[in-house]
Chain A
């Protein structure tokens, strides 16, 4: 079946602009995750959704970052007033519900802030 999809695949934005990144999880997966990977570095956890609620948002780096999920499906990650340090690949993953931790990743959105 279809995997996790993300859009856009690439986004170039000017410093100070807002951006929205989208994630479509695997059908039937109730858990959804956002991670960030800076160039040459490991993955950093940002936020975890179970259904439409976010029991763990401990990785969001500042109040400029927010995320929502609707209909237990699509999620959007919004970054307001982007800074150059926000440049990274933003990865979305999904898994079956509570207790299942095998996470499957989408192709990512490469964000470049100029």
Chain B
């Protein structure tokens, strides 16, 4: 069973702090990794994609990938109350499919 695991949280951080969200995956053949944000009652919104080892930065967001450790993380700098949401890690397992396997998500609460 190919799995993507996340701590369900809630992760509580004060406004202005760095939020660190983590994800591990079981399939070593996985090629592509994504972070989605999902507000309560809404559909997932793509915020970051990462395909190679290292860091990728986009504004206040940094995605980090370590394929040897099968680990991907998302850092949110200068966290804002509007960042409070569930963050979903998603992995494409490669092969002939484009499907994504999702973790169950980490609930982030940014305290004003």
Residues of A within 8 A of B (CB): 31, 33, 35, 41-45, 48, 50, 55-56, 58-59, 89, 91, 95, 98, 101-108
Contacts and interface: CB of A to CB of B under 8 A. Distances in A.
5 cross-chain pairs, A with B, having the tightest CB-CB distances, nearest first? A42-B104, A56-B97, A43-B102, A105-B43, A45-B99
17 contacts: A33-B98, A35-B102, A41-B104, A42-B104, A43-B88, A43-B90, A43-B100, A50-B98, A56-B96, A56-B97, A58-B99, A59-B99, A89-B43, A105-B36, A105-B45, A105-B46, A108-B43
A102 B99 contact: no
Interface string B23-67: 000000000101010000011111001000000000000000000
A102 B97 contact: no
Interface of B: 32, 34, 36, 42-46, 49, 88, 90, 92, 96-105
- Interface residues of chain A: helix, strand, loop or mixed (majority): strand
Nearest to B91: A101
B101 A45 contact: yes
B49 A101 contact: yes
B43 A48 contact: no
A101 B32 contact: yes
Contacts of A44: 102
